[in-house]
Amino acid sequence: MDTVTIEANGRKLEARRGEPILAALKRAGIHVPTLCHVEGLTPTGACRLCVVEVDGARNLVPSCSFPVADGMRIKSDSPRVIAARRTLVELLLANHPDDCLFCGRSGSCQLQTLSQDLGVRQRRYHGVKNAHSRDVSSPSIVRDPDKCVLCGKCVRVCEEVQGVAAIDFIGRGSHAFVGTAFDKGLNVSSCINCGQCVVACPTGALQERSNVDDVLRALADPELFVVAQHAPAVSVSIAEEFGMKAGVDIDGAMVAALRRVGFKRVFDTSFTADLTIMEEGSELAHRIANGGVLPMMTSCSPGWIKFVETFYPEFRANLSTCKSPQQMMGAVIKTYFTEREGLDPAKVVSVSIMPCTAKKFEATRPEMGRDNVPDVDYVLTTRELAELLRITGVDPAAVEPETADTPFGERSSAGKLFGATGGVTEAAVRSVHWLLTGRELEHLEVAKARGLDGCKEMRVRIGDLEVGAVVVSSLGEARKLLDQVKAGERKDIQFIEVMTCPGGCINGGGQPLGIGREAIAARMKALYRIDRGASVRVSHRNESVQRLYDEFLGKPLGERSHHLLHTHYTERDVLV
Amino acid sequence: MKPFLHAEDLERHRESLVAAYDPDRVRITVCGGTGCNAQGSVKLVAALRDAVGRHGLAADVEVKVTGCHGFCEKGPIVVVRPANVFYVQVKAEDADELVRVTLKDNAIVERLLYHDPASGTRVVHEQDVPFYAKQTRVILAENGHLDPTSIDDYILRGGYSALAKALTAMRPEDVIAEVKQAGLRGRGGAGFPTGVKWELCRKQPGADKYVICNADEGDPGAYMNRSEIEGNPHLILEGMIIGAYAIGARHAYIYCRAEYPLAIEQLTRGIAQARECGLLGEDILGSGFSLDFVIKQGAGAFVCGEETALMHSIEGKRGMPTPRPPFPAQSGVFGKPSNINNVETWANVPLIVNRGAAWFSGIGSEKSKGTKVFSLVGCVNNTGLVEVPFGTSVRTIVEDIGGGTPRGRKFKAAQMGGPSGGCIPAAAIDTPVDYESLQALGAIVGSGGMVVMDDSTCMVDLAKYFMEFIQSESCGKCIPCREGTRRMKEILDALTRPRRKEGGVDALLRMQGLMQLEELAETIKTTALCGLGQTAPNPVLSTLRFFRDEYEAHLYDRQCPAGSCKELVGAPCQNACPAGTEVWRYVAHVARGEYNDAFRVIRDANPFPSACARVCHHPCEKSCRAGASGGGEPIAIRSLKRFVVDRVPASTYRPLARRPGTKSARVAVVGAGPAGLTAAHQLSLLGHRVTVFEREAVPGGMLVGAIPAYRLPRERLSAEIEELLNDNLDLRTGAALGRDFTVDGLLADGYKAVYLALGSHQSKTLDLPGEDAAGVIPGIRFLKAYNLHGEGLARGRVGIVGGGNSAMDAARVALRQPGVESVTMFYRRSREEMPAYAEEIEAGLAEGVAIEELVAPLAVHTKDGRLVGVRFQRNRLSEPDASGRRKPEPIPGSEFDAPLDTLIVAISEAPEAGLLDGLKLTKWGTLAANPESCLTSRPGVFAGGDVTTGPSTVIGAIAAGKRAAMMIDRYVNGKLLRVLPKVKLPSVFVAPAGDADDEGAPPAERVRTPHLPLAARVGNFDEVELCISEADACGEAHRCMRCDLEFTQPV
């Protein structure tokens, strides 16, 4: 490798030729604060907090974008650098609402941390603060432009990672702010509710629309029967909210904690993931056999669904008609379960715990319920669940693990794999193989579907059939693939799995904040570990699923399934 | 037209055009630039064509629309060629006369010629107009000749020959070498060497390269790029094609702001013509080189002048800068290597290729080669486009080309380079304009905006204006520029505003603010992302560097010295009056015919209304907005005051004196001049018992001793002083300090405080041998001898050394004495710089006083102990001093003798030091007193007026007396001798006179104050200046712009 020698704070360092100063310093253990830096994206140099002193340069240089050069002498801790950084943070604070005590990001706010780290102890700059109104129009995301520091990360993530570009900078100078086209509400924008902007946001400017209070109210109402379901990716990430390291699975403790909080039943969404595989697998087999629309595309990620409806309505027929596991669970709770328990569906409150902000939107879709009763009443993100537990004083680290409730508590590890990109494909391959050949796969693990790559391609042999499958995560990747399909270049694909968020639900917009790629990899590994150690590793062996078909649904793609477990899609006309 | 396939085709076409061109044909060229168009040039062209037709000249005379001549101040401009008769401000109505007289009668329409105010003559030829005479027009050379809509006209005059030369005789490397050798540097701002930039881009791998012309001219007041494009679009196109050839670019963009429709029209047409001629497109002139153009219209964001932002804008993205590296040469527009240059940089290229690097580098200064076009605007007589070689001084541009600052105001500074630049203060007016010299002063060449400011411009306000501009034009991307500039603007806002509350947090914040300004400026400068941000604090840094005292005046004294910050100044007239007279208020009363009310307002602020109505130097008029920004002449305020005091008996309003009580004390005032009497009178009103001691037999001080009766009649003065006396005030004349009493004695006698208002009665001497001869008289002694004792000391040929008011008074008094043959004033600087009031100088000259300027006395010739003459040496003006005034410097060998019988030395006066025994003096020999508390080095002893300041003004002495009275009152009552400066804003609403609203009426002219006819003044001391009539007073008062209403008008 081509290396150069630089000197940083008096110390000689090796650095890769042409790499940004920031990267070289980071490797050497020198922390340089940043607000706008996003790993993997082109530096924009907006926040200027990463400035360092370079010998010979008239001004301070931004280390995020400035490449190292041989013999370069850098100071990242000189009084000039410190004074500049401090002034910058003070300037941000001068235009900040100062309501940390009431802010959902208090404690996880990077501005707060910066201010503390730099030792800002005095309010020196005063003046007019920007005043915008909060945008609460979206069921998923609340925008508070007053707390925005204009780092632009949300804009770049939305455009560069997700290919959506629902938000951008508006206005000039100190009046500049981040907003939607024509500064309308997020709900009428092209936002697909994924919440990646929330994950990117260093402050409280972007947060999920909280349903914690609704759930607390429901739990306190003796008239109501409140049940919970939790998504596969939640149990491997929520531990981080309680100080445990990334990748610890606390499934049992979480179930116990949910009961302590007052949920009457706790179900596992992985159960309906298995159910989804039964339906979706059958659908794929049916489409292949009967010349249906191909490639078939997965439908469990609601951001992706809205993305297709908004930007690629011509692909609606390619989407699997299966509801997502959350909505399947909602549907069977409000029908089969209430019938079985003799409950009034209107008195049953169904709460789902999801790693996702788009699920909040999905739950509000008009087709997701019956007789004006929604299948899922409230969606809590992983973060909101942690908040709920803290409010109610339940420490998941201090409870004995318990198992989920029947009838929807049993799951195969295939269903659990839904939490990571490639998981749906892997689960589907396992079951479709059985569906079509009647035999189990020899090697259950589909290595090509695993890992954090944004686009993974594979050809899968199922008996006589060879299926081309592509697994993409992030809508930017999805867009690339769709454009190829649209151009007729991908006749080789029959199946496409799309997860809205890069890496899948383990990196969903509702997951614990302030984590890096390593944490996401650890969450992923946790899911694979669970799969490795599981006794039931294929969806079609989930006995509760089989019982559900026997007692209630009939068979996959049957009439009852069709009514309860399948849905349809609409073209969305948005402003931009 | 058939496209030229080879360079020879172009040459052949040119030859045919030249052959068909008749240089002697009469052409009436009319400027069609945006400036002239706005002033009616389109109609004018039609009228001229019509007139030419009507006079039957259609066949022989061509009416041609050309590009901008640059002298926009005087548009529309018409030049009749080949005779080169230069007409200015021609209206459509003038067309017929112009054609008839110039072309039929072969004469000249005198009234349409340029009138040179300096020489007072009319100039016939363009090249003789001073505005053009000192310019070197290279870029703009063709503008006044060329029809910008015709490519043939361009080719005829040599156009595209540089392109042909480059394509046929030069390799791309040769072109770059030529440009490098010429020393051409970027004309858009930082001055990066153009050839080096091209080379960087040429060396980049890849065949897809771009050249871009930055025509996003956005600096306030700058419009040279606009005129360059509008007047000669092909010059820029040709430069870009050559540049693209040198760089190896296939695509060219012109990024021009949409607010320049005419420029865009010319470019669009130009590109189409060039394409049609095969000068653009595939295989240009058979060279194998291909290029095409796209014009991109910018929406007018200032930041889009920054190259990375501009390129994003071209790509259709939001115009926001990105970090460099990568540089545009590596990854520019659409990620391809790109080279971006300013309009004017491109325009230089054909000239360099045609005439060679040596020619180009022969123009300009050592490191800055060639010429630069500046747009000269602001407080300067001739605004317009000025092209000069680099290295030309600011003085040449402002004074010689620009004709100096209007209305006799002083040049204060020139803002160079727009919001990213800085200012050149008057002291640095001789700075050569080039990249390095300006940078050393914290300014930049920038794109060439040059905004001239006179002394009515407040530099804090200027900085505020630019910060306002920057903070709203910042793209908002990086924190320092977005958040920092707005805080800087807010700090400047706070500085230019009165306090919200007295003292406390508000004051502290403002103090902090000034300190933070520099800190913020430093942070923004060193951390901002792009050039716009990094230079954003420059206007503040620059003004802080050269005008820190103005910032401090705003901060500590709540004063705007230039009288421009509205919220601190209120009504400028009131603000300018040292005594704080509510001028606007009495003027408003005069307009309403409420003369008694007017008198009351005057008298309330000033115990000497009648004296001031005659001799005040009226700073109020100097700052009057009707004169300054109103573009006309200030209100004749002193004449209005004279009208009021002459009409209203003083007895109408006599302030009541409080009866002495427990808070009263005995106070001694020494000196019955304006300072002493004002202090005494004010103290007496407050109930103190005051004794005034006056050395002379009559009170009045300099008012009676120095000012002659023809300016201030004695009976008016004594009546006025009489009005000031009351039961609390005892005036003792003939009682001299040091002779009849001492300060010690006064304090021992029970006076709680003593106010020394002794004046400055000691004339300074020339320090020449023979000065003690008979016939040499100190100025004050001469004036006093006559004014107080009726003694005429002058005789024969009288010379006066000095140029101030005392010198002028002495001259005019001498002129009135019997036995005087002639009176000549000798002054070391030029007449314009004489400190005497202009109207006094004029009156003196009218009466027969002669003035010898730029002379200094060397020796006094005597015979038998008596003066016979004086030897003088002539001076010339040299380098300016810190105030921007040029110092007089003797010319060796220029000595001459002036035979004189009387020499009056009136160069200045000082206090009589002998009287101030024991009190601390300043280094100038004046009595040291704290300017705030008026206290001298001795407790209980206060001082003010000329004794502390040296010779000054009447109204200054009155203001000093008022302040002293307030301080002495506080002193005897044991209060702190400090008051926070207060902003005095108009607070009383006086309804405008009923007929004040006729806005459409033409602005009336300033009233001319009547004077005693010259013949009636001879040999007597009758008052020279007379009172204006009631009708004139009313009319004059109606001219007032009523600045007060902004503060007092009920909502």
**What ipTM does the predicted assembly reach?**
0.90
The pTM of this model reads 0.86
Q: Are the Cβ atoms of B527 and A84 closer than 8 angstroms?
A: yes
Q: What count of other Cβ atoms lies within 10 Å of the Cβ of residue B889?
A: 11
Short-list B428, B170, B156, CA closest to B287 = B170
Residue B500: pLDDT above 70? no
Burial class, A198, CB count within 10 angstroms (exposed 0-12 / middle 13-18 / buried 19+): buried
Residue B630: pLDDT above 60? no
Rounded CA gap, B638 and B616, in Å?
7
Active site residue A300: yes
Q: Tell me, what's the pLDDT at B915?
A: 77
Residue from B486, B491, B514, B517 to probe the interface with A (highest A Cβ count within 10 Å): B486
Q: What mean pLDDT do residues B131-142 have?
A: 92
Distance from chain centroid for Cα B898: 38
Q: Are the Cβ atoms of A45 and B322 closer than 8 angstroms?
A: yes
Rounded CA gap, A113 and A386, in Å?
21
Using a CB–CB cutoff of 8 Å, tell me whether B526 touches chain A. Answer: yes
Rounded CA gap, B50 and B1022, in Å?
62
Using a CB–CB cutoff of 8 Å, tell me whether A130 touches chain B. Answer: no
A405 to A343, A411, A556: CA distances (angstroms): 16, 11, 23
Q: What mean pLDDT do residues A217-234 have?
A: 97
Q: What is the mean pLDDT of chain B?
A: 91
Short-list B471, B477, B320, B533, CA closest to A177 = B477
Using a CB–CB cutoff of 8 Å, tell me whether B301 touches chain A. Answer: yes
Min Cα–Cα distance to chain B from A20, Å:
11
**Which residues from A are below 8 Å from B485, CB to CB?**
173-174
Q: Are the Cβ atoms of A176 and B526 closer than 8 angstroms?
A: no
Active site residue A341: no
Provide the pLDDT confidence category of residue A345 given band limits of 50, 70 and 90: very high
Q: What is the mean pLDDT of chain A?
A: 95
pLDDT digits (tens, 9 = 90+) for B393-446: 999 999 999 988 887 788 999 999 888 889 999 999 999 999 999 989 988 888
Q: Tell me, what's the pLDDT at B612?
A: 96
Q: Which two tokens stand for residue B752?
A: 């709680």
**Which residues from A are below 8 Å from B526, CB to CB?**
51, 59-60, 80, 84
Provide the pLDDT confidence category of residue B993 given band limits of 50, 70 and 90: confident
B712 to B28, B610, B719: CA distances (angstroms): 59, 9, 12
Q: Are the Cβ atoms of A91 and B479 closer than 8 angstroms?
A: yes
pLDDT digits (tens, 9 = 90+) for B174-189: 999 999 999 999 998 7
Q: Are the Cβ atoms of A48 and B479 closer than 8 angstroms?
A: yes
Rounded CA gap, B751 and B198, in Å?
84
Rounded CA gap, B779 and B765, in Å?
10
Active site residue A384: no
Rounded CA gap, B981 and B966, in Å?
13
Using a CB–CB cutoff of 8 Å, tell me whether B486 touches chain A. Answer: yes
**Which residues from B are below 8 Å from A152, CB to CB?**
477
pLDDT digits (tens, 9 = 90+) for A446-482: 999 999 999 999 999 888 889 999 999 999 999 999 9
Q: Tell me, what's the pLDDT at B821?
A: 94
Residue B629: pLDDT above 70? no
Selecting from B322, B323, B482 the residue whose C-beta is nearest the C-beta of A176 gives B482
Residue A568: pLDDT above 60? yes
Short-list B450, B367, B413, CA closest to B544 = B413
Residue of B nearest to A67 (CA): B325
Q: Which positions 528-557 of B are in contact with A (Cβ < 8 Å)? A: 528-529, 534
Q: What mean pLDDT do residues B1029-1046 have?
A: 92
> Are B201 and B243 in contact, with CB atoms under 8 Å apart?
no
B127 to B64, B123, B543: CA distances (angstroms): 20, 9, 37
Using a CB–CB cutoff of 8 Å, tell me whether A181 touches chain B. Answer: no
Using a CB–CB cutoff of 8 Å, tell me whether A171 touches chain B. Answer: yes
B430-467 as b/e: b if 16+ CB within 10 A: ebbbbbebbeebbbbbbbbbbbbbbbbbbbbbbbbbbb
Q: What mean pLDDT do residues B60-72 have?
A: 90
Burial class, B474, CB count within 10 angstroms (exposed 0-12 / middle 13-18 / buried 19+): buried
Active site residue A103: no
> Are B219 and B277 in contact, with CB atoms under 8 Å apart?
no
| Cα angle value A276/A279/A281 (rounded, 5°) | 95
Q: Are the Cβ atoms of A87 and B484 closer than 8 angstroms?
A: yes
Q: What count of other Cβ atoms lies within 10 Å of the Cβ of residue B129?
A: 20
A310-321 as b/e: b if 16+ CB within 10 A: bbbeebbebbbb
Q: Are the Cβ atoms of A60 and B527 closer than 8 angstroms?
A: yes
Burial class, B50, CB count within 10 angstroms (exposed 0-12 / middle 13-18 / buried 19+): middle
Three-class SS state of A142 = strand
Using a CB–CB cutoff of 8 Å, tell me whether A182 touches chain B. Answer: no
pLDDT digits (tens, 9 = 90+) for A387-434: 999 999 999 999 999 999 989 999 999 999 999 999 999 999 999 999
Short-list A199, A542, A550, A523, CA closest to A381 = A199
pLDDT digits (tens, 9 = 90+) for B939-960: 999 999 999 998 899 999 999 9
> Are B897 and B770 in contact, with CB atoms under 8 Å apart?
no
Beta strands, E only, A263-358: 265-268, 296-297, 348-354
Provide the pLDDT confidence category of residue A268 given band limits of 50, 70 and 90: very high
Cβ contacts of residue B920 below 8 Å, gap of 6+? B927, B928, B936, B937
**For the CA atoms of B124, B127, B128, B129, what is the dihedral angle to 10 degrees?**
90
Using a CB–CB cutoff of 8 Å, tell me whether B861 touches chain A. Answer: no
Q: Tell me, what's the pLDDT at B628?
A: 64
Residue B781: pLDDT above 70? yes
β-partners of residue B102 are none
DSSP readout, B431-490?
A: -B-SHHHHHHTT---TTSEEEEEETT--HHHHHHHHHHHHHHHS-S-SHIIIIIHHHHHH
> Are B675 and B946 in contact, with CB atoms under 8 Å apart?
yes
A120 to A114, A216, A496, B1003: CA distances (angstroms): 9, 38, 51, 59
User: Looking up tokens 């001055």, which residue turns up?
Assistant: B191
Q: What does the DSSP 8-state code read for residue A506?
A: G
Residue A307: pLDDT above 60? yes
What backbone torsions phi and psi does residue B878 show, to the nearest 5 degrees?
-120, -145
DSSP readout, B558-613?
A: ---TTS--HHHHSSHHHHH-TT---HHHHHHHHHTT-HHHHHHHHHHH-S-HHHHH
pLDDT digits (tens, 9 = 90+) for A110-157: 999 999 999 999 888 988 999 999 999 999 999 999 999 999 999 999
Rounded CA gap, B44 and B36, in Å?
10
Provide the pLDDT confidence category of residue A1 given band limits of 50, 70 and 90: low
Q: What mean pLDDT do residues A188-204 have?
A: 96
B577 to A324, A531, B495, B569, B615: CA distances (angstroms): 82, 91, 22, 11, 14
Active site residue A47: no
The fraction of chain B above a pLDDT of 70, given in percent, is: 97
Rounded CA gap, B624 and B635, in Å?
7
Q: Tell me, what's the pLDDT at B49?
A: 93
Active site residue A334: no
**Which residues from A are below 8 Å from B478, CB to CB?**
45-48
pLDDT digits (tens, 9 = 90+) for B1016-1036: 988 889 999 999 999 999 999
Min Cα–Cα distance to chain B from A80, Å:
9
β-partners of residue B385 are B375
The fraction of chain A above a pLDDT of 70, given in percent, is: 99
Using a CB–CB cutoff of 8 Å, tell me whether A62 touches chain B. Answer: yes
pLDDT digits (tens, 9 = 90+) for B828-878: 988 888 889 888 999 999 999 999 999 999 999 999 989 999 999 999 887
What backbone torsions phi and psi does residue B646 show, to the nearest 5 degrees?
-75, -30
Short-list B281, B314, B298, B139, CA closest to B212 = B314
Active site residue A208: no
Residue type, B620: C
Q: Are the Cβ atoms of A87 and B519 closer than 8 angstroms?
A: yes
Q: Which two tokens stand for residue A231?
A: 């998504």
Rounded CA gap, B352 and B180, in Å?
10
**Which residues from B are below 8 Å from A83, CB to CB?**
519, 523
Rounded CA gap, B853 and B861, in Å?
21
Rounded CA gap, A144 and B564, in Å?
41
Active site residue A477: no
Rounded CA gap, A103 and A101, in Å?
6
